[in-house]
Amino acid sequence: MNQFGKYITFLKTMPSYKPNENELTIEGLEGKFSELKQANSTFLVTNAALISARLDRNVILYGEKTGLVDTALDAKLYVKSIFGAVSPEYKSIRAIPFVNRTH
């Protein structure tokens, strides 16, 4: 992005640069540069929010002993220990996959 700004600055020093297309004039290029800077800024803010949301999700799903995955795995073991490995209660939940991706 920085190179584009330098390119515009360079073109400003050239009096012979007079394109016929509006988007290629100095004003058009500066407008495009401004749009690109705004889009980049929006991306950075949005990406930071995405990273934060993913971290929160990982705590909820994979937090050690408190996350959804560990809780579900513990519940499956509890049902197995109470009702037995061949019980209808355990058979109904044993195939539900829970995988802890962080530890």
Structural domain boundaries in the chain: 1-51, 63-103
The pair of structure tokens assigned to 4 is 């584009």
Residue 100's pLDDT is: 79
Distances in Å between the Cα of 101 and the Cα atoms of 4, 55, 59, 81, 95 are: 42, 13, 11, 25, 18
**Low-confidence residues in the chain, pLDDT < 70:** 1, 102-103
Residue 102's pLDDT is: 67
